[in-house]
Structure 1
Amino acid sequence: MSVVGKLWLIGGTGDSVRLVQSIAKHSLPCLVTVTTSTAINLYPTHSNITIEIGKLDKEGIKQLCKRETVRGIIDASHPFAINISQQVMEFANTEGIPYLRYERPSLKQNAQAIYLDNFEDLVKGNYLKDKRVLLTVGCQALSKFKSWHKNTVLYARILPKLASLKMALNAGFAENQIIALRPPITLELERALWQQWKINLVVTKASGKQGGEDIKATVAQELDIPLIVIQRPSLTYPQQTEQMSDIIEFCYQCFQG
């Protein structure tokens, strides 16, 4: 198939790896952008797949699309990475570039969990007081909990990266309050960690099965520990899907005409 230009897939999650694997099988030219060098090894090696590392701002998005003659954009970024999604949607709309959001399936709400719209509602409330809290919310959110270190015992689980460790330390977490692990985390390990630290409250994000939300809900129920789930940010996408078949159809449509 001889085509001009490329698809641009915004990656960095396990979902995006599966999408790229499928696109590679169809031999469609695709540029994948990720934010860390460790993510590169997760993607398939294929003559039609190019991978670039780095965070993009508005000007970077513009230059990338011009340089690669981007024919269509597949946004498979993390559900909480709203900045890149907002910027790309705005640019795609202005330039008339087809855009499709891949949204990982949400889990059915657990009747025993507490669902909050944002971190602000959590830190301003009284949910954390005098608790032993495990935060599985990503390193960027840890600074929001600085004011709580005097009133509760906080533990943070982060990715095993130097930048993540620095952010946790800067947010007031001591070395013995940090554990660095790369997902996926098994149910057995999840349970053991909660028991080791005598956790009696867990905070996570609504990141779906891919983010281990289902396992945390199961362990919370087993150990009778409250689970607070921060809901995904609400964005209006021009079009979105949870289906792989829709992604491939979109890819072919981008090269028509």
Structure 2
Amino acid sequence: MRLLLLGGTSEARDLAAHLVAGRVDVTSSLAGRVAEPRLPVGKVRIGGFGGVTGLRSALAGYDAVVDATHPFALGMSANAVAACAATGVPLLRLERPGWEPDETWHYADSHEEAAALAGRLGNRPFLTVGRQELARFLPSLRRHAVLARVVQAPELAMPETWELVTSRGPYTLAGETLLMREHRSDVLVTKDSGGTYTWPKMEAAASLDVPVVVIRRPAAPDAVRVVNTVEAALGWVKEQSCAFS
């Protein structure tokens, strides 16, 4: 069986390692939006497919697909659903669970809503929402003293009041606490990404009594099986392998 693994997350890399060790013919696909991505073991392709049409053509070379992209990678996940439905290729969604809800957090259904909330809650926001979403925060936070942390600098022209930090997790509680203290952050804005890599910022915010704005996850695609662990994904791949044996 030939498997296409849509990756870019720690879960995708973990799954790829297990599949390669199990001698599954797997190719990991990365979007190529980061200059130096963390590469999984095994075969890797980098770059987009050219929308649904391009992905449909690419699926001629695969028997199954696991979508293990970021929980907020809406475009790629939607393309995978459409392409697999059109070609009949089995599709599984591997998505890490979100963080356990906290009654002290302020929830938002969009980045724009989160920006407006942050503007009301503080004057020195700490944004950890990814470089592709920063432009959506400009209307509400252009004049705020924003600290924006991203893996790679955006092409966006940053306001003079904004400070950019480029780094990549995993992070530590001590490091996050120091960063927020140095910036005098008075509100943290994040997506409900889940996982442990960036959780220390949530602990730091709690210890510093800094309010947290959390952008809710989009709803999972309909009619697609979703699992939350690498072990469950491995079980699904085994099921598909039996169908081709």
Same-fold call, TM cutoff 0.5? yes
Counterpart in 2 of 1:15? 11
Q: Is 2:53–2:83's contact at 8 Å kept on the other side of the alignment? A: no
Compute the displacement of 1:176 (Å): 6.3
- SS of the aligned residue for 2:57 comes to helix
2:119 to 128, 144, 147: 128
Compute the displacement of 1:236 (Å): 2.5
- SS of the aligned residue for 1:122 comes to helix
Counterpart in 2 of 1:195? 181
Distance 1:116 1:175 in 2: 24
Q: Is 2:148–2:162's contact at 8 Å kept on the other side of the alignment? A: no
- SS of the aligned residue for 2:170 comes to coil
**1:65-122 deviation per Cα after TM superposition (whole angstroms, max 9, x unaligned):** 12x2x11100000000011101111111121111000010222111221111111222
Q: Is 1:14–1:210's contact at 8 Å kept on the other side of the alignment? A: no
Task: Determine whether 1:92 maps to 2:84.
Answer: yes
1:116 to 108, 116, 119: 108
Counterpart in 2 of 1:219? 204
Q: Is 1:15–1:210's contact at 8 Å kept on the other side of the alignment? A: no
Gaps of 5+ in 1: none
Counterpart in 2 of 1:43? 40
Compute the displacement of 1:150 (Å): 4.6
Counterpart in 2 of 1:154? 146
1:166 to 155, 163, 171: 155
Distance 2:177 2:123 in 1: 18
Gaps of 5+ in 2: none
Q: Which letter does structure 1 place at the counterpart of 2:66?
A: I
Counterpart in 2 of 1:144? 136
Q: Which letter does structure 1 place at the counterpart of 2:183?
A: W
Instruction: With the length of structure 1 as denominator, give the TM-score of the two structures.
Output: 0.86
Distance 2:162 2:20 in 1: 43
Compared CA separation, residues 150 and 136, structure 1 to 2 (3 A): closer
Distance 1:9 1:131 in 2: 42
Q: Which letter does structure 2 place at the counterpart of 1:215?
A: P
Counterpart in 1 of 2:52? 58
Compute the displacement of 1:222 (Å): 0.4
Distance 1:134 1:223 in 2: 13
After superposition, the CA RMSD in angstroms is 1.9
Instruction: With the length of structure 2 as denominator, give the TM-score of the two structures.
Output: 0.90
